[in-house]
Amino acid sequence: MLPGVEGPSDLRALDPEQLRRLADEVRVHLVESVSRTGGHLGPNLGVVELTIALHRVFDSPHDTVVFDTGHQSYVHKLLTGRQDLSTLRTRGGVAGYPSRAESEHDVVENSHASTSLSWADGIARARTLTGEGDRCTVAVVGDGALTGGMAWEALNNIAAAQDRPLVIVVNDNERSYAPTIGGLAHHLSTLRATRGYERFLDWGKQALQRVGTPGRLAYDTLHGMKKGLKDIVAPQGMFEDLGLKYLGPVDGHDLEALERAMTIAKDFGGPVIVHALTTKGHGYAPALADVADQFHAVGVIDPVTGQPVAAGGAPKRASWTSVFADEVLAVARERDDLVGVTAAMLIPVGLHKMAEAMPERVVDVGIAEQHATTSAAGMAFAGLHPVVALYATFLNRAFDQVLLDVALHRAGVTFVLDRAGITGPDGPSHHGVWDMALLQHVPGLRLAAPRDGTRLREELREAVGVDDAPTVVRFPKGAAPEDVPALERLGGTGSWGAPDVLARTGEAPDGSSSTGSARDVLVVAVGGLAGLGLDVARRLEPHGVGATVVDPRWVLPVHPALVAACAEHRLVVVVEDGLRTGGVGSRLRDELADAGVRVDVRCVGVPVRFVDHAERAEVLEELGMTGQDVVRDVLGRVAALDEERERAGARSGTTGG
């Protein structure tokens, strides 16, 4: 059945039995494809019937369909002409989220949660103003995304426009990444709405109010009784109080029931919620058996067993996340005031071990980074030290709270940012490249970027030791590299936040010059790019250019010893896994200017643009962030400095003569 579906219109010609066969084929195709490439498997297995019904009832792209988060859009891609998923999340291949470049059926590319309702509100409002009121707008949102405050800001506006055709399909699988947290999970309800029901209520209201004051009182009493009785049977009050019509709950794997509900919602002509109950990983036993996240996201797996396919070569190293998970638990056992805070990402950010050992001291606020941050400020005021663990890309959403709720109040809150820097296959909205540039502007904030697992443990402990300012520890995705020991610590071991010297080339053991001078180039290697910094130094040595490689450890504040080291070199090269504009290198250049240090500073980092999905190594190569690229640039700059020195010497000789 699947090869015959080239677009949504082809679905409308299929009978119920053909549709069931199609759903089965879609699941088989998803498992076979995603098991080879990795990706978001569980969420897509759960929305097969829902997506089929969606495209049978609504006429995309005439009707606009917006997917919240977007990781559940693989089925949508299959039904809109993109059935070859063999290149999923690979360089130049099919994106793991909706992509306007791929299809006119894709609208919102941003994969951050809780935004779809605002998009839908804006689109529906514009359709009305431009005279296209016959075009329906559909937002597909998960119950997890409804824990985000932005979703409720949108609902407040959507409910106020009763004449706009806007349908909200709630994909309720009781999970975001893991089980959905919070009071919302207890309020998704069974109130049903039809136009006939509404007309009956309107008729009753008009008839009673014609009687005058007694009639109005009677209507108010009867309406209150109705609402009270419904609240006893099913606690649906908040949707009704907002003025939103509600259909459901509907079995999210029953195509006929889904189509019926969506058709009623489309015909209603105003804002309606269709509440669909689905099961993440539906139809695939290994996913259903995965208690942690039902195969929310997988790597390469055996499609039959669901087990990861072991990679050959060296034994697998511990991930950055697992190192943090172990260390934060160890610190929590030593300090009763330490609490963990997560925004619906308990396992991905490594707070699960602490939650298992001391559940009362780990708070999951749902998909609500802003709330998590300000709540942490409150906890700090009351005597605790919160550790707020997020993906680096999601900290963007809480910048105002970091600035004015935490930093302004000098709150001792530690932010741990996982997946910092270039993350790879998830693409533009998931690369964690914005954090260091954003946080440069927060007064008093201290920012650490560990180079290996040992430094992560060390810098985490330093961070939670600060109780009068926000601290940040950020690290990349994947396996932590082998430890890189330091030759020495600049400024002495007792100096807080002092940088480490990792290597010196071009200098003999007695300090004499061998091939160039270690004072030619200072390579400031930030965090996980320490390996790149060392590679640059090694590559420079055969060219007669010496280098000193320094890990700043704490990039904020800039340590005086780092400023002094820069002053001793002819060229400073900063390599950072973040934006080069306004990033660590830019800040260091400003600090050097303030100190009166005149030295050329070369910033190697991510340009200010959205970076497509690909493997991390491929992205770094594309951005010119490899040892070969950096060395080529450095040699050119050193040659220019040599020429300038020769010209200056010549001018000096002429003047002297």
pLDDT tens sequence across 234-272: 435 556 667 789 998 999 999 999 999 999 999 999 999
HSE-up of 247 (CA within 13 Å, CB side)?
A: 28
Instruction: Give the confidence band of 16 by pLDDT, cuts at 50, 70, 90.
Output: very high
DSSP three-state, residue 198:
helix
Catalytic-role residue among 82, 280, 361, 539? 280
d(CA 340, CA 349): 11
In this model, does residue 349 exceed pLDDT 80? yes
Q: State the chain's mean pLDDT as an integer.
A: 88
pLDDT tens sequence across 518-574: 689 999 999 999 999 999 999 999 999 999 999 999 999 999 999 999 999 999 999
How high is the pLDDT of residue 315? 64
How high is the pLDDT of residue 180? 53
199 carries an active-site annotation: no
d(CA 406, CA 386): 11
Can you give 404-415 as a three-state secondary structure string?
HHHHCCCCCCEE
How high is the pLDDT of residue 197? 40
Catalytic-role residue among 369, 459, 507, 576? 369
132 carries an active-site annotation: no
The answer to whether 94 and 102 are in contact (CB under 8 A) is yes
pLDDT tens sequence across 595-639: 999 999 999 999 999 999 989 999 999 999 999 999 999 999 999
Q: Which of 287, 303, 285 is nearest to 295 (CA)?
A: 287
d(CA 239, CA 245): 7
- N residues, the chain: 657
- φ, ψ for residue 42, nearest 5 deg: -55, -50
Pairing of strands 471-474, 414-418: parallel
Residue 258's H or E segment, with its range, is: helix 255-268
The whole-model pTM stands at 0.85
397 carries an active-site annotation: yes
Contacts of 489 (CB under 8 A, 6+ apart): 495, 498, 499, 500, 501
Instruction: Please state the rounded mean pLDDT for residues 367-378.
Output: 95
Instruction: Give the confidence band of 654 by pLDDT, cuts at 50, 70, 90.
Output: low
In this model, does residue 219 exceed pLDDT 70? no
Contacts of 241 (CB under 8 A, 6+ apart): none
| Of the listed ranges 90-94, 142-146, 161-165, 653-657, the one predicted with least confidence | 653-657
Q: Which of 244, 261, 248, 208 is nearest to 120 (CA)?
A: 244
Q: Which of 603, 572, 569, 568 is nearest to 585 (CA)?
A: 603
Catalytic-role residue among 135, 245, 397, 587? 397
According to DSSP, the residues that pair with 489 across neighbouring strands are 500
Tokens of 109: 């590319």
Instruction: Give the confidence band of 227 by pLDDT, cuts at 50, 70, 90.
Output: very low
Of 144 and 386, more confident: 386
DSSP per residue, 132-179 = -TTS-EEEEEETTGGGSHHHHHHHHHHTT-TTS-EEEEEEE-SBSSSB
Helix ranges (DSSP H) in 576-625: 584-594, 616-622
According to DSSP, the residues that pair with 599 across neighbouring strands are none
Residue 355's H or E segment, with its range, is: helix 352-357
How high is the pLDDT of residue 200? 43
How high is the pLDDT of residue 295? 83
How high is the pLDDT of residue 192? 35
Q: Which of 560, 553, 547 is nearest to 528 (CA)?
A: 553
How high is the pLDDT of residue 217? 57
In this model, does residue 382 exceed pLDDT 90? yes
Of 198 and 53, more confident: 53
pLDDT tens sequence across 34-54: 999 999 999 999 999 999 999
How high is the pLDDT of residue 196? 43
In this model, does residue 112 exceed pLDDT 90? no
Instruction: Give the confidence band of 194 by pLDDT, cuts at 50, 70, 90.
Output: very low
HSE-up of 272 (CA within 13 Å, CB side)?
A: 26
| Of the listed ranges 182-186, 278-282, 487-491, 589-593, the one predicted with least confidence | 182-186
